[in-house]
Amino acid sequence: MGKERFKEILNSELQRLDESNVSKRKENIIEKFVSIDGRAKKAVVDNKEYILFNSNDYLGFRFNEDIKKAEEKAIKKFGSGPGAVRFISGSLKIYKELEEELAKFHNAESAITFSSSFAANLAVIHCFIKGQTKSSLVGREVLVISDELNHRSIIDGIRVSGLSKENKVIFKHLDYDHLNQILEKNKGKFSRVLIISDGIFSMLGEYADLKKIQELAKKYDQYYEEGILTIIDDAHGVGAFGETGKGCQEVCNTKPDLIVATMGKAFGSDGGYVVGDKIYIDYLRESAATYIYSNPTSPGTAAAALKALKILQSEEGKRLLEKLKQNQKYFKEKMKYNGFRFAADSTHPIQPILIGDSKKTRELTNKLFEEGIIVTQISYPVVPLGKDEIRIQISAAHAKEDIDELIEKIVPIAKKLEII
Ligand SMILES: Cc1ncc(COP(=O)(O)O)c(C=O)c1O
């Protein structure tokens, strides 16, 4: 038997996922993109064209000619890959330029980039749990408090940190009274606290009340010897939310200690980053395993992200952010008018349409696919069982006609499936 037995076990697990309509591995293979005047680019799958409503490319930057040119230029100058991790064979200047611009954009002292924001979250959580003084009050003195709907990279960051049960607490989603109770109950019992939350919650498009979190951190800071550090993952917020695209920081008009975000969504590029006070960023550069032992993104990717950031701060960026907002409103009003229910009242381009049943949700996404529209089914374990949704993601690249086409096609299918 041996390994054959293991393969049998894996096979039955894959079958179980298929039968429960939640498997994800049968991905659409996009052969290319095609342009239609004034409309969002269409993806070509098996020679058929599809409008995408499931991309994080909120501003359409991944097809921006200036961004592509900046990437090409950097490849010519620095080569196609980083060569090694940054401290070994020298850090390419483009990474420094990008970090300086990110810090400036967020009005922070300093920034550090990573290969992804998943890697950035692992680093932040691990490093700031680990950076302990010798004067600990209790055995392992850090308490981590995390919103129950935080992204998987935060969950895994906490899991791999090796903290014991007593050192990690989950607070109810967006329930800051609960967070207050936890901070009150643990006064004096730990020397340091990390409060960690998504900014925009990726499955629902809701956002955390960063002002409230900061107020609570301030109120209770004195009761913990090394204070309270607030960490916000705003991967979906940056470039898509707020008057100038600074995300939840801007919408809530406050500044968490550390913001983690990605360049792989609204920036149309790739890689993750962290911004905050220089002391935190210096410490990360010295101690984050996913920085020290793992390559950065390629120089072309960094240059594309830098160019995207510059465009975001220009008149064109303002225009795109405004168009994104208008598109999102237009979509939501039309969907509401047609009787769809939303899993949350989101003002972000992530618009979650609540379906509930996984089979119906799969049928809906399959039928839309037949009609030339790709949306994503979000199912367990990403959302709780029985709370399946389709996550529609609006982009500034969508034309009104794209949104109209989606609605014209989804309404009769949803009626037939008795969703509306
Ligand atoms: C909230 C949040 N954080 C982090 C990530 C990971 O982003 P990246 O692709 O940069 O690792 C995602 C993407 O799924 C996300 O939604």
Cβ–ligand 1 contact at 273 (below 6 Å) = no
List, by residue range, all CATH 3.40.640.10 domains of the chain. 65-312
Cβ–ligand 1 contact at 393 (below 6 Å) = no
Q: What is the dihedral of CA 370, 371, 374, 378, to 10 degrees?
A: -70
CA proximity to 51, closest of 412, 401, 415:
401
* pLDDT on residue 38: 87
Tell me: domain 28-57+316-416, CATH 3.20.20.60, correct?
Answer: no
Cβ–ligand 1 contact at 198 (below 6 Å) = yes
Nearest-atom number in ligand 1 for the CA of 120 is 11
DSSP H helices in 106-260: 117-130, 152-160, 176-185, 210-221, 248-251
Among 153, 191, 202, 379, the active-site one is: 202
The listed CATH number (3.90.75.20, 3.30.70.600, 1.10.10.10, 3.40.640.10) that belongs to domain 65-312:
3.40.640.10
Cβ–ligand 1 contact at 270 (below 6 Å) = no
Taking the centre of ligand 1 as the mean of its atom positions, its distance from the CA of residue 123, in whole angstroms, is 14
* pLDDT on residue 1: 78
Mean pLDDT split into 10-residue runs, the chain, 420 residues = 93 92 85 92 96 97 97 98 92 97 98 98 92 47 94 94 89 97 95 96 95 98 95 98 98 98 98 98 96 97 98 98 98 97 94 93 95 90 85 97 97 95
Cβ–ligand 1 contact at 113 (below 6 Å) = no
List, by residue range, all CATH 3.90.1150.10 domains of the chain. 28-57+316-416
Query: CA-to-CA distance for 309 and 267, rounded, in angstroms?
Result: 7
Would you call 205 exposed, middle or buried from its count of C-beta atoms within 10 A (0-12, 13-18, 19+)? Answer: buried
Taking the centre of ligand 1 as the mean of its atom positions, its distance from the CA of residue 229, in whole angstroms, is 21
Q: What are phi and psi of 200, to 5 degrees?
A: -85, 130
Enter the DSSP assignment of 38. T
* pLDDT on residue 13: 95
User: How many contiguous H segments (helices) and E segments (strands) does the chain have?
Assistant: 15, 14
Q: To test ligand 1's pocket by mutation, which of 62, 114, 151 has the most ligand atoms within 8 angstroms of CB?
A: 151
Cβ–ligand 1 contact at 301 (below 6 Å) = no
Nearest-atom number in ligand 1 for the CA of 199 is 1
* pLDDT on residue 132: 52
Nearest-atom number in ligand 1 for the CA of 118 is 11
Nearest-atom number in ligand 1 for the CA of 200 is 1
Q: Is 236 a catalytic site residue?
A: yes
Query: CA-to-CA distance for 96 and 78, rounded, in angstroms?
Result: 13
398 close to 363: Cβ distance less than 8 angstroms: no
What's the gap between Cα 322 and its chain centre?
21
DSSP H helices in 147-251: 152-160, 176-185, 210-221, 248-251
pLDDT in tens, 289-333: 999 999 999 999 999 999 999 999 999 999 999 999 999 999 999
Q: What is the dihedral of CA 260, 170, 163, 255, to 10 degrees?
A: 30
Residue 208 in 3-state DSSP? Answer: coil
- Tell me what percent of the chain is helix, strand and coil, each rounded to the nearest 5: 45, 15, 40
* pLDDT on residue 179: 98
* pLDDT on residue 380: 80
